[in-house]
Chain A
Amino acid sequence: MWSFILRRILWTVPIVTGVVLITFVLFAYVAPDPARLEAGKHATPQQLQKIRQQMGLDKPRWLNTQAAKAVPGLGPKLAAVTDSQFFDVLLWRLPDSQHYKEPLWSLLLRKAPASLAIAGPVFFVALGIQLVLALVAAYNRGRWPDYSITFMAVLGICVPGLSVIILAQWLVGFELGWFPVAGWGRGAQIVHFAVLPILVETLVSLGGGVRFYRTVMLEEIYTDYVRTARAKGVADRDVLLVHVLRNTMIPVITNTVASLPFLLLGSLLVETMFQIPGLGNLMVEAIGNRDRSIIMGMTYAIAVVYTLMLLVTDICYALVDPRIRLQ
């Protein structure tokens, strides 16, 4: 048990390093030179050099061996050798956002609440609806409730999310005028602005989950213990809610955790279309502004949080289900 948990925790080290490696290689070797973008076309070499220095791009990419040679002692040597572009990213010494002139951390913390205000309710409402619809469909397998729910789910998957957002914004916000078309407020005003984005995002995210959970539940409904429960006279409702729902929790949780990064990231599309000052909006803006720190930092931060969440889920599984520990 403990060895499983320990091994699982240690495994995150190469994963996080790998994430930084991929992000770094992508931005250091493939992406356009950020200093040149910042300086503009007509910058002099001196100006370019100054910007490079500000961004930490004048350092060596991987290991700063030159600096390490210059200082004595193991500790300072180690500190000097890691004074490179790669370790700047790995140890989160990213330069301030070029556009906002603000440290990345405070920027992310400032933008996160708006994302959570949308994504939090969406997450719970969508999960609830998905589970209920999936249960109903699975229970009525092969009859009209199943067909209509599956059909609606497939429809939901096939319509592009952006079209739904644009349509809802136009219909509910513009034509009917029930909610503001876009925008964000302070305090209690937020509710007014948040309702439509939450509804739209829930609608868009419904389809995939319903189909997946239905399959999972169907696998469970045809197991022997369900048949036994039915045979001994347990009411259908109790069979579904007590036996089936509980035993499908593991795949459901896995799928839920897999969707969590989107909770953090917010929805890129919804946040941008409704002008919600959240993380998704920040990311879209950063792409437009070519703000390298934000794109890199957010990729890194969200990947790390996601890795940690996977770690916690795996450990929870091991606690709940002994079969997983033994694999």
Chain B
Amino acid sequence: MSSVATIPMDPAPLGRPRSVWRDAAARLKRSRLAMACAVVVAVYLAVGLLGFTPWLSGLLSHSYADSYEPPRWSGSVGLWMGTDIEGRSVLWKVLYGTRVALTVGIIAALMSALLGATLGIIAGYFGGWIDNLVIWLFSTVSSIPWILLMIALAYALKDRELSLLGWTFRLVGVPTIVLALGLTSWVGLCRIVRGEVLKLRQRDYVTAARAVGLGSGQILWRHILPNTVHLIIIDFTLNLVAFVQAEVVLSFLGLGVTDQPSWGRMIDDAKLEMMRGVWWQMGAATVAIFLLSLALNMLGDALRDALDPRLRGVD
């Protein structure tokens, strides 16, 4: 041990150590496109938070004009994107929809990341019967086409009362969708993480950590998990896109949000409105979804390039 201590150390290392994160952040900052996408996502987040204020919900219940007033630029801001069948402002509805979309997307994506990463890491690291069990679980779940399983789950959970640790809450709208999406979409990440951990656990530093006497928990937490975080983050952004789009499908099927306005409901309303020439409600929601998806998609790609430089030669 003493020989290690006597190795001369550079008293003043060259600045702070370059961590993966600083490296990735530097790479991201260099890409103008990625920064633009990050700004767009940040704006959406801000609008989403605005949806929680009583101010926006107040504007939402306000009836502006007759039903289906076309967009006009003069006059009240609320009329910029026209009105819906009840005379509510489409602009405020779109802004409020951001809250629903992001709440659903973020919580469901967190849930799926947590499930997928935990199961993947445990399966890959411990192997044996635990691994077999997890493989069986994700093979089974992935043999039911995603959309079918999601629909079945959303159908089963809709309007149910759930008791958990003495708390009873009704599954209406957002919680139903979050559960349906989160419980069905962890498979991809689980599979990738498991594969990565299988490789990682044979690395020298893991063997060294074990030789030094670190427990499994500490090895997983300090050595394995940090090396899979980039996979989790990339999966998270791509899931967000998928979930925002899935909300539209669920709304169409009548399994989505029913107690508040959402982008999916606005597009769903349009299937009857378009023939009457009412395009603004669907247009507004479509553009909102499109811009968010585009920004997240490109940000996801940029994140992948920044966090996993090995892949960069390819795409």
Contact = CB atoms under 8 A, between A and B. Distances in A.
A pairs with B:
yes
Interface of A: 11, 14-15, 18-19, 21-23, 26-27, 30-32, 154-155, 157-163, 166-167, 169-170, 174, 215, 218-219, 222, 261-262, 265, 268-269, 272-273, 283-284, 287-288, 295-296, 298-299, 302-303, 306-307, 310
Contacts of B290: 158-160
Q: Is the interface of A mostly helix, strand, loop or mixed?
A: helix
Contact of A273 (B149, B159, B271): B271
A76 to B, nearest CB: 32
26 contacts: A11-B139, A21-B140, A22-B140, A22-B141, A30-B156, A157-B241, A157-B297, A159-B289, A162-B249, A162-B252, A162-B271, A166-B270, A167-B274, A170-B274, A170-B275, A174-B275, A218-B314, A261-B145, A262-B145, A265-B147, A268-B249, A268-B252, A284-B253, A288-B254, A299-B149, A306-B143
Interface string B282-300: 1001100110011001100
A262 to B, nearest CB: 7
Nearest to A27: B156
B169 to A, nearest CB: 15
Contacts of A295: 151-152, 155
Q: Is the interface of B mostly helix, strand, loop or mixed?
A: helix
Contacts of A158: 241, 289-290, 293-294, 297
Interface of B: 136-137, 139-141, 143-145, 147-149, 151-153, 155-157, 159-160, 241, 245, 248-249, 252-255, 267-268, 270-271, 274-275, 282, 285-286, 289-290, 293-294, 297-298, 313-315
Contacts of A288: 254
Contacts of B153: 26
Given A154-B298, A262-B145, 20 more contacts: A15-B136, A19-B140, A19-B143, A19-B144, A30-B156, A31-B156, A158-B293, A160-B248, A162-B267, A170-B275, A218-B315, A261-B145, A261-B148, A273-B271, A284-B253, A287-B253, A287-B255, A299-B148, A299-B149, A302-B144
Most chain-A Cβ atoms within 10 A of its Cβ — which of B136, B159, B252, B255?
A: B252
A310 B147 CA distance: 18
Most chain-B Cβ atoms within 10 A of its Cβ — which of A26, A160, A307?
A: A160
Contacts of B147: 262, 265, 268
